[in-house]
Structure 1
Amino acid sequence: MGMGHEPGHLSSREPHRGEGLTQAFRTLFEGLPRDAPPVRCVYAGFTGERYFAMEWGTASLRTRQYFAEEVRMVHPAENMGDVGAAQGPLMVGLAARGLHKQYCEGPILVWSSSDRAERAAVLLRDSMGQG
């Protein structure tokens, strides 16, 4: 798991640079073994606002060495709308089910951003350690 703090969050006067999500990703990825497989699926904390899409783009480019060449993107808000604070736990549950039912290849990165400064990311892998 990785956590981050975004100085330029929605209610801040600071410029938004994607630093919080990048910090969450780096904390998560730096704790992995060197031979860990690359991320193949991402459950993204998009809510329909471009702010979070820009944040994802910045953080994923800064940590691109941890991602497979082709990554499946899933953003549940596209089908359910913005579920607020339930977004993180909801996506972890959906990702775990996708991994279990094998319609998502792991490892799966799940990330979410608050309207305030908090950012979080978690990596799900199958119980056999193969993705």
Structure 2
Amino acid sequence: MPHKQNKQNYIARMELNKRNKLASGLLSERFPEVSDIVIQMTYYQKGVNPVLMLRTVNILPTDSAYFHMECAVKECMDGGFDLTSVIAHMVKTHKKVEKGRLLCNGKIDSRASDHASIAYEIGIRYIKKSR
């Protein structure tokens, strides 16, 4: 039974993720002044081998303006890293680079809620205005 429950949970999470991406609209609609965004992340987990993975996400104007990154720890429920407010503030202030860290607040039975974190660097290129 646990395998079937895990599969159902996975399918439900993927469906929710799909709906959230659609609801967030396109980057070109939400931030028309942005040419592209590059998000570089290092995922960390508690344990002997703390670096879980390196990841780069490229977001173009035709992509979804959905900036919630899933937790890389497979067993994590309802966690992840939401970069929406960071990116919105960067665009509002026309900032080009931002670095920071976020903790996952998801839940895993056997681990603390701070079981994972990311270090991120976000780079935003803006559309040059013609004169």
TM-score w.r.t. structure 1 length? 0.31
Q: TM-score, normalised by structure 2?
A: 0.31
Larger Cα-atom Rg: 2
Larger RCO (CA within 8 A; separation ≥ 6): 1
Which structure carries more strand by proportion?
Answer: 2
More helix by share: 1
